[in-house]
Structure 1
């Protein structure tokens, strides 16, 4: 019996080590918010964010679970090429009372993708301009050889769903569209 346990120990250890939970975090993001207006399409970009979560990877390097995932970015980190546009956007986002845009994940489903990548569908609470709504974000998560994870995705949201009046310019002669697109790339490192 003792000999059998000694022989099984390496197998049990290998099984436990091949799917360990590891906390990952990232502080930089390539986030682009884009939309339309009666004059031209527009973009605002941010490279500041805080994101962390606990990821479990199997022995093949694929993500099998994600827990405690949270994301935040300062609303005023979003910048366009025009200061006046930024100021109108910050006013619409109510940044004085709501300085952060946050997403807190409540449930995750994972589907294997090409190679070691996984499609991760996150449902959670998105807080934008002081309004919180249940939203779904789908991202492609690619574990890398250097023990990082690259997270990319594109989501569309409606400003009015968050009680945001689409900004206007030049006394209302230029109006922005209601729908915006969020595109993001985030690099997560073991923390």
Structure 2
């Protein structure tokens, strides 16, 4: 029977630990942040014309797992945007939108992740809580995460939302002559850095 020395066992153990460290180094979870690199575009329809409101204000935090040039996991994600940072081309529309969004009592729009899956192509399916106009509902946001050349991560996606689900009365204008549709699309683009 061949004897195995303590030195040989120690060397093999060290080799295994080094290989595991190298293997897991490429899959490290890291914290990312975005301040004023959060772009939201809310678009909808009305009886007169389509409309759009945009914001480039906000803050987001995330924990991503990155393997080389691919995002492979997301364990934390939150973003918040001041509701009144959303602007259209018409201040009268903004005023009516802020009233509908109840910005005096609910000054922010926010999302907080509860769980996520990331596909091989970078598609992130994020389950979480979306808060609009003081109402918080469970929802799924779907976006695509891309690692940029500078190692920042950009996540882009969109979500169709029913205003009535969030207890929002669709705004009307010109004493009710122009009414907005119930459904809006919220498009987002967030660029995270370490």
Aligned to 1:45: 54
From 36, 44, 59, the equivalent of 1:35 is: 44
| Whole-angstrom distance in 2 between the partners of 1:36 and 1:152 | 22
| 1:137 positional shift | 0.4
| 1:147 positional shift | 1.3
C-alpha spacing 1:107/1:6, structure 2 compared with 1 (3 Å): closer
Superposed counterparts of 1:1-191, under 5 Å: 1-27=9-35, 28-58=37-67, 60-113=68-121, 118-190=122-194
Kindly name which structure, 1 or 2, has the bigger radius of gyration based on alpha carbons.
Answer: 2
Stretch of structure 1 that moved more, 156-165 or 49-58 = 49-58
**RMSD value, Cα:** 1.1
| Whole-angstrom distance in 2 between the partners of 1:159 and 1:6 | 59
| Whole-angstrom distance in 1 between the partners of 2:58 and 2:171 | 24
| 1:62 positional shift | 2.1
| 1:12 positional shift | 2.0
| Whole-angstrom distance in 2 between the partners of 1:109 and 1:13 | 24
Structure 1 spans left out of the alignment, 5+ residues: none
| Whole-angstrom distance in 1 between the partners of 2:102 and 2:83 | 9
Structure 2 spans left out of the alignment, 5+ residues: 1-8
Write 1 or 2 for the structure with the bigger share of strand: 1
| Whole-angstrom distance in 1 between the partners of 2:193 and 2:76 | 15
* DSSP-derived class of the 1:11 partner: helix
* DSSP-derived class of the 2:170 partner: coil
| Whole-angstrom distance in 1 between the partners of 2:139 and 2:11 | 54
TM-score, structure 2 as length reference: 0.91
